[in-house]
Structure 1
Amino acid sequence: MNGVINCLKPPGMTSHDVVDFLRKQLGIKKVGHGGTLDPGAAGVLPIFVGKATKAVEFFEASEKEYVAEMTLGVTTDTGDNLGKVLETKDCNAESASIIEVFNKFVGKIQQIPPMYSAVRHKGKKLYELARQGIIVERKPRTVEIYSVELIKYEKPRVLFRVSCSRGTYIRTLCEDIGRALGCGAHLSCLIRTKLGPFKISQSITLEDIKASVSSGKSQEILTSLDKILSTFMSSVIIQLRNEKSFFKGAEFPIENISTEPDNENQYAVIYDQKKQFLGVGKIFHRGPNILVKVEKSFL
């Protein structure tokens, strides 16, 4: 059993809880996830099964989209609605001023990871230290906000859509926006609507997954890895005379290519002449020839 499940994570579960649930349902240990979601958050959580677990790295840089609710005037120690209230202020912000502040955060920005996060400090996760009352200095990280759109504003709650890069903390973004507005804020609800090629409109609930497994239709919830990869990578065909030659670092001339690469080192899905999925590689030029260098084998 190999492939990817576009899972709809419910609130109240950790991402690892979802993985454990699927391991039990599918009867397979080799299960992993891409793009961790906080326990209180819901939405798109790609689940990789079997050999597909080796491909998680190719989705790590994917653009993410969220619909978030931010409550103005209330700050908490965790940055979300699960924490202890630290301060409450009146907030008289209008829609126009909120949009103006949103626009200031579009582009590359610096974020300090929250203490209640899985970022490691000297081998320990920050949230483990935070639960012991230990606060440590965190270095700011560069992330990118591609867009922030106001959906609805009913004081003190702000509903908005944000598209961002890997490593962006929406809790931190809410805190920074609240600080810029002068009243403070926290994240009160979060739904991830997109992660790379995975969209919430195509997500499958845990209940539907369980029902499919019970009825013997496990394969129907899986999408083949190469089909997913092909949504954002070129496809190439090579001549493979000996499977043992297909290993990390091997180079092959390309016999056919679906789309010309935009630049050097663009990833590509590799097939043999019988359309068997072989792996993922990087396209490069050597003189007049276009070659592919194998990065990961899925044989």
Structure 2
Amino acid sequence: MYFSCPNVNGVLLLDKSKGVSSNYALQEVRRIFNFSKAGYTGTLDPLATGMLPICFGSSTKFSRYLLDSDKRYLVTAKLGKRTDTSDCYGKILKESPILFNREQLNNVLKNFRGNISQVPSMFSALKHQGIPLYKYARKGIIIQRKERLINVYKLKVIKWDNDELELDISCSKGTYIRTLIEDIGEQLGCSAYVIALRRLQVAKCSLYKMLTLDQLNKLFSIFIKTGISLKELIDQLILPIDSQLSHLPVVNLLPLSARRFKQGQLIFINKLTLNGLVRVTEGTLHKFIGIAKIAHNGYIAPQCLLNND
């Protein structure tokens, strides 16, 4: 017997384990909670571990905004070799001696901080004509990919031990860590590929709120044995819908304006100095009601509204 939790809206920060796909992890969570409407945002490869936001109910409407947010990773690279997949699952294509020193390493890393261009890996989930690139790659088909502009906010050496290099990376959406490691290896003159990858953060979601599948199953056992209120347990595990949007600035509306906003109308905000997207809340309780885009002349335009249940 598992949880039966209809009409739950919110986000669970799953700590995905190594060796399983993101979809497998999602199906396990759905099985445990007996949720029909659930999805994840930001695919993690089987090699990768760490933060995989699972969205339930109405929060699935807002998952794309979390996908567009910044990420943080801890990655370990194997130096001196290059593989066809840029990770430890691929075939070794080239071996090179490791001849650089610490000063040369620091100089190379400087080239990968800030705005840089990157060509996505063929072994990625990026789609061409509706088919993921990795499916073409497995058949030996190479698809021409366009360069993408990304931003690497932080690139810090955690440890360098002979042929292994551990880096802490904070970056913008669309950054392919395996490609980044391969490009760094090429500039170091020795090649490199990923042997371990852990996502520590998505937007401003805290890594300390992550739960593994094993922990979720154990919590279910505690629920059965202690008779703890189901609502109490869910409230402890599931974060509010707008927790995935904490990276967006907030505009709070009075009830009258909020009602018009929920009807899809443009709302004028006096002395509005923001740009892009904003998180919209209502009244003194600052209840989340949706996402808006800053329009012209101080107006905000509804982009995605929370269901008015």
TM-score (norm 1): 0.88
In the alignment, what sits opposite 2:282?
271
State the identity %: 32
Asked if 1:251 is matched to 2:266, the reply is yes
| Structure-2 change in CA distance of 1:231 and 1:196 (3 Å) | closer
In 2, the alpha carbon distance for the partners of 1:166 and 1:250 equals: 30
2:113 to 90, 99, 106: 106
Which residue matches 1:184?
Answer: 191
Q: Which residue of 1 aligns with 2:82?
A: 75
Task: Report the alpha carbon displacement of residue 227 of structure 1 after superposing the two structures with TM.
Answer: 4.3
Worse overlay, 276-285 or 217-226: 276-285
**1:67–1:191: 8 Å Cα contact kept in structure 2?**
yes
Partner residue, 1:60: 67
1:297 aligns with 2:305: yes
1:220 aligns with 2:244: no
- Indicate whether 1:40 and 2:47 are aligned: yes
Conserved? CA contact 1:239–1:273, under 8 Å: no
Residue 238 of structure 1 contacts residue 253 of structure 1 at CA under 8 Å; is this kept in 2?
no
Q: Residue 43 and residue 245 in structure 1: after superposition, are their counterparts in 2 closer, same or farther (change >3 A)?
A: closer
CA distance in 1, matches of 2:175, 2:243: 27
Contact conserved, 2:73 with 2:169, CA < 8 A, in 1?
Answer: yes
Cα distance in 1, alignment partners of residues 243 and 88 from structure 2: 38
* CA distance in structure 2 between the aligned counterparts of 1:241 and 1:173, rounded to whole angstroms: 46
> Is the alpha carbon distance of 1:239 and 1:292 closer, same or farther for their aligned partners in structure 2, counting shifts above 3 Å?
farther
- Alpha-carbon distance between aligned partners in 1 of 2:200 and 2:249, rounded to the nearest angstrom: 22
Count of aligned pairs:
291
> In 2, distance between residues paired with 1:242 and 1:137?
47
Looking at structure 2, the residues matched to 276 and 102 of structure 1 have their Cα atoms a distance apart, in angstroms, of 43
Q: Aligned equivalents of 2:214 and 2:272: distance in 1?
A: 41
> What is the rounded CA distance, in whole Å, between the counterparts of 1:177 and 1:263 in structure 2?
36
Does residue 1:94 correspond to 2:110, yes or no?
Answer: no
1:234 aligns with 2:245: no
1:281 is aligned to 2:281: no
1:205 lines up with 2:221 in the alignment:
no
1:132 CA drift (Å): 1.4
Cα deviation code 1:62-102 (max 9, x no counterpart): 11111111111110010001111111121122222111101
Q: In structure 2, what residue type is equivalent to 1:270? A: T
Measure, in 1, the Cα distance between the counterparts of 2:243 and 2:117.
Answer: 35
- Alignment partner, residue 85 of structure 1: 92
Q: Which residues of 2 match residues 76-155 of structure 1 at below 5 A? A: 76-155=83-162
- Report if aligned partners of 1:264, 1:285 keep a CA contact under 8 Å in 2: no
Please give the TM-score of this superposition, normalised by the length of structure 2. Answer: 0.86
Alignment of 1:24 with 2:31, yes or no, is yes
**What's the counterpart of residue 173 of structure 1?**
180
Shift of 1:241: 8.9
Contact 1:44 1:199 survives alignment (8 Å) = no
Give how far 1:252 is off: 3.7
CA distance in 2, matches of 1:241, 1:66: 40
User: What letter is aligned with 1:223?
Assistant: L
Counterparts of 1:231 and 1:283, CA distance in 2: 16
Q: 1:270 to 1:294 in 2, by over 3 A?
A: farther
SS, match of residue 39 in structure 1: coil
Could you say what secondary structure the match of 1:198 adopts? Answer: coil
Q: Give the gaps of 5 or more residues in structure 2.
A: 1-7, 224-229
CA distance in 2, matches of 1:245, 1:236: 11
Larger helix proportion of the pair: 2
Inter-partner Cα distance in structure 1 for 2:192 and 2:303: 44
Relative to structure 1, the CA distance from residue 189 to residue 242 in structure 2 (aligned partners, 3 Å threshold; closer, same or farther) is closer
Match of 1:9 among 5, 16, 19: 16
Structure 1: which 5+ residue stretches go unaligned?
Answer: none
**Amino acid of the structure 2 residue aligned with 1:134:** I
